[in-house]
Amino acid sequence: MTLPKIRIEPLAPPFREEAAAWAQRLGCSAAEEDAEFALQVGADGLQLQLLGEQAPGPVRVDFLEGAAAHRRQFGGGSGQMIAKAVGIQQGIRPSVLDATAGLGRDAFVLATLGCSVTLIERQPIIAALLADGLRRAAVDAEVGAIVARMELLEGNAIERMADWQSEPPQVVYLDPMFPHRDKSALVKKEMRLFRPFVGDDLDAPALLAAALALASHRVVVKRPRKAPIIEGAKPGYSLEGKSSRYDIYPKKKLGS
């Protein structure tokens, strides 16, 4: 897969030094003339912008405002389907490994509900956006306590899980990239920006196998509602919503 060209640019002079640091860290040029994307550094943190006429606005990770804040306050708490899928119950908050972290939305929901969550993201640009969002949230009086339960690891999740050195997570959560049918403006914008960098997760069967080998209690796979199950082991049961489905692969009862 050939990655698109990207440049790093400060949105104002005070951010030149930070932009240069990101360019060095990511191995990107600060002056890529024919770049298709720009990773921009400004007062609101790091953001990814598709270049060209009629391009959608930038995407950034923001745990303090917008959709993340609304879901934290009004999302339904432990009654949410994702909470049921990972096994949250009264007195049970499992440790979770989100092996396909993306922008960290699901991991943030689980951390909000009290789970400790380790995140793995293999795409360096997306990992940079996520790291920046976690850094900004960490200094917030209210949200800082939530993101303190989130630890970000970069790299290939299959390799990371195979070489896991610490206590295994009780739950491994997977949301492999899939041709989403969601027509919302937000999802369409994000898919347009990120699909050139990540493509579809063609190694999903290997990802599932690695997750099943590592998780102590269960593996949870999020899929579009009508999508086929991932090739390999069959789920024990599924929870189905309006647009998505959670396939659950139980290994041991949580709490035991």
Amino acid type, 52: G
Q: Kindly list the distances between the CA atom of residue 57 and the CA atoms of 3, 186, 188, 192, in Å, as whole numbers in the listed order.
A: 20, 10, 12, 11
Distance (Å, whole) CA 251 – CA 78: 22
Burial annotation 109-136 (CB, 10 A radius, 16+ → b, else e): bbbbbebbbbbbbbbbbbbbbbbbbbeb
Distance (Å, whole) CA 150 – CA 163: 20
Residue positions forming the annotated binding site for S-adenosyl-L-methionine: 105-106, 121-122, 175
- Range list of β-strands (E), 75-169: 96-98, 117-121, 150-154
Q: Under a CB-based contact definition with an 8 Å cutoff, are residues 40 and 72 in contact?
A: no
User: Structure tokens of 62?
Assistant: 């923001």
**What is the DSSP secondary-structure string of 175-222?**
----------HHHHHHHHHHHHHH---TTHHHHHHHHHHH-SSEEEEE
Residue positions forming the annotated binding site: 105-106, 121-122, 175
